[in-house]
Amino acid sequence: MHIDLTGEVAVVTGVLGRLGPVWARALLDAGARVVGLDLAETASRRLEEALAGGDRERFTLVGADITDRGALDGALRRCVSVAGAPTILVNNAGIDQPPSADGQSRLFGDLPDAPSAEVLEVNALGTLRVCQVFGSHMASRGRGSIVNIGSLYGGLAPDPRLYAHLPMDPPFLKPPAYGMSKAGVAALSRYLAALWGPHGVRVNTLSPGGVLGEQDEIFRERFSARTPLGRMALRGDLTGPLLFLASGMSAYVTGTELLVDGGYGCW
Ligand code: NAD
């Protein structure tokens, strides 16, 4: 079924990462104008890559750090002037950095604070700030759909058996702050769904499972074996769920979390 988003203005944060271009491409293909946000330094360097496939007319890249309220206010002004008032927001920017690259310490009690604080700052508070700026604008105009990108790990702990062959244990390889931040994103979606439902803005969470990428072969095999559908997600598996949540196809859906995880959480 074709979803037509002609006339919509979609904002995608973290547009230059692995999944950002997937969301942007799907929205462009459905006819929307897309304003992509990413860190200023990566924005200029990877501009051409982001635009690969054409659509220079309907795609605009804006450099903005989602932890910087002033930069987001400027990005909203730019969005309105070049593309129009935002009607779709995909909060995709996020980080998942191991707090220690040396792999020396293996104890949960040794996790340093700073990397956890950074993950929470970007993933949870950054998403909150983008909603404050772009979502408030949508609510003031009485229309919009916000899709916050969560994660399987917002609801489930990383299975240590999947990481047992790697040099670091899960507390360092998959720090708890990541799951904490993504659980927070889902909570934020519910909060804003309640706040903005009467103002015509729907807010949902799309939570991917493991997406096939640069993982090593052993991890891929273990992850696939643990997944009822028998494989990791392909990027194309994510576009239908995004377009469903972004469009009027989900007109009566708000405050929910759509897991796109091949059934990983079933057992
Ligand atoms: P990625 O690291 O490839 O891309 C993230 C993008 O966000 C980068 O372009 C980065 O520059 C940008 N970014 C980071 N901090 C920013 C900030 N402060 N301001 C603006 N932009 C910032 O990540 P990804 O794999 O594309 O993941 C995208 C989203 O999907 C993330 O929220 C991630 O948690 C979630 N997710 C990914 C997977 C996966 O397997 N790839 C699985 C589940 C959930």
User: Which residue in the list 163, 178, 191, 264 is annotated as catalytic?
Assistant: 178
Q: Please tell me the distance between residue 151's alpha carbon and the centre of ligand 1 in angstroms.
A: 11
CA distance 94 to 175: 14
Tokens representing 18 are: 């692995």
- Type of residue at 245: L
162 belongs to a structural domain: yes
Specify which residues 149 forms β-bridges with.
206
Atom of ligand 1 nearest to the CA of 126: 18
Q: Judge if the beta carbon of residue 215 lies within 6 A of ligand 1.
A: no
Atom of ligand 1 nearest to the CA of 22: 26
4 belongs to a structural domain: no
Q: Judge if the beta carbon of residue 8 lies within 6 A of ligand 1.
A: no
Calculate the dihedral angle through the C-alpha atoms of 21, 239, 199, 13, rounding to the nearest 10 degrees: -20
91 belongs to a structural domain: yes
* 3-state class (DSSP) for residue 10: strand
3 belongs to a structural domain: no
CA distance 187 to 203: 11
2 belongs to a structural domain: no
CA distance 200 to 144: 6
Number of structural domains in the chain: 1
CA distance 12 to 21: 9
Q: Cβ distance 197 to 165 under 8 Å?
A: no
pLDDT in tens, the chain (267 residues): 689 999 999 999 999 999 999 999 999 999 999 999 999 877 776 665 666 566 778 999 999 999 999 999 999 999 999 999 999 999 999 999 765 555 555 678 888 888 899 999 999 999 999 999 999 999 999 999 999 999 999 999 999 899 889 877 777 778 899 999 999 999 999 999 999 999 999 999 999 999 999 999 999 999 999 999 999 999 999 999 999 999 999 999 999 999 999 999 898
56 belongs to a structural domain: yes
Q: Judge if the beta carbon of residue 126 lies within 6 A of ligand 1.
A: yes
Q: What domain range includes position 147? A: 9-266
Tokens representing 117 are: 């604080």
Clarify whether 264 is annotated catalytic. no
Mutating to test ligand 1, I would choose from 92, 97, 122 the residue with most ligand atoms within 8 A of its C-beta, which is 92
**Strand 201-208 relative to strand 9-13: parallel, antiparallel, unpaired?**
unpaired
Q: Judge if the beta carbon of residue 135 lies within 6 A of ligand 1.
A: no
CATH code: domain of residue 87: 3.40.50.720
Rounded to two decimals, what is the model's pTM? 0.96
1 belongs to a structural domain: no
| Rounded-to-5 percentages of helix, strand, coil across the chain | 50, 15, 35
> Does the interface ipTM go beyond 0.85?
yes
CA distance 250 to 133: 23
> Using DSSP, how many helices (H) and how many strands (E) does the chain show?
11, 7
Token pair 């929470």 is found at 120
**Strand 33-38 relative to strand 59-63: parallel, antiparallel, unpaired?**
parallel
45 belongs to a structural domain: yes
